[in-house]
Amino acid sequence: MQRSAQRTRLTRILACAAVPVMLVAAGCSSDSGDSGGSGKAEGQGNASASASVTPSPSQSTKTVEPAKFAKLPEVCKSISSKTTASLVPKAKTKNGTPAASSDLASRGGCSWNGLEDKGVEGSQYRWLDVSFYRYESDAALGSGQERAQENLAKELAKVQQTPGAKKLRTVEATGIGDEAKTVTYQLRKTDEDFVYTSIVARTGNVLVLLSYNGAGYAGADTPSEKTVTNGAIKAAKEAVAAVATANK
């Protein structure tokens, strides 16, 4: 009976926790009520992709570098099922929940979340989400690469300003696309400590926003920052690589 009551309490708690921080626009951060989960991609933040502007006569002769990538990968398949299963062991939807998008060629998102019951050792909650934004080259706005670069800085600033974030730290993330930043922090929610890692990365004219976080319930230990960050980096590398694969 005690275990059943505990499960009921967890269900109520998680209903409040499963509201993302970052996605998209991010929607693409998270279970926990902040960072992006499913539904980030459509109309999230200022990471608007493929804006169309009619150039003035003086601009019409200006040439810009062509956009490197013409398409986006299928977002829920951009991270392997093996990786999502290891990062979110008991995902409610194994294949991910896609975010709403009116233009999948320019933006898209997907998220996974779940609670792993470890019996007397408590339960572990995890949330993973990823979003993509592709920018076209435009004589008035600049090349797709430049536009993605500008929006990377904006999205990074949004993550760094997460309300209530503690022990926030930003570092360069090597080996992830053309440039990337990793932001780690902690949030106290639903009477538990959540550990977050958000990665903002650019590959050519595509911006990739990824968030991974977790918490321990019913006496379970809080996941370490190292564990969460390593998981986020692994997933981010796969997501970035998927962009190049989709454009072969």
Instruction: Specify the pLDDT at position 54.
Output: 54
More confident of the two residues 144 and 20: 144
| pLDDT per position as a tens digit, 100-157 | 999 999 999 999 999 999 888 899 999 999 999 999 999 999 999 999 999 999 999 9
Is the pLDDT reported for residue 243 higher than 70? yes
Longest Cα pair distance anywhere in the chain, in angstroms?
75
Instruction: Specify the pLDDT at position 33.
Output: 41
Is the pLDDT reported for residue 68 higher than 70? yes
Instruction: Specify the pLDDT at position 14.
Output: 53
Instruction: Specify the pLDDT at position 55.
Output: 52
Is the pLDDT reported for residue 60 higher than 70? no
Give me the residue label for tokens 């796969």: 238
Instruction: Specify the pLDDT at position 29.
Output: 41
**Mean pLDDT across the chain:** 84
Rounded alpha-carbon distances, angstroms, from residue 238 to 29, 53, 142 = 18, 33, 28
Ordered strands of the 107-117 beta sheet: 97-98, 107-117, 123-134, 206-217, 192-203, 179-189, 166-172
Tell me the three-class secondary structure of 152-214, residue by residue: HHHHHHHHHCCCCCEEEEEEECCCCCCEEEEEEEEEEECCEEEEEEEEEEEECCEEEEEEEEE
Instruction: Find the length of the chain.
Output: 248
Give me the residue label for tokens 């980096």: 233
Q: Which domains does the chain carry?
A: 2-49+65-246 (3.40.1000)
180 contacts 172 by C-beta, under 8 angstroms: yes
Instruction: Specify the pLDDT at position 22.
Output: 43
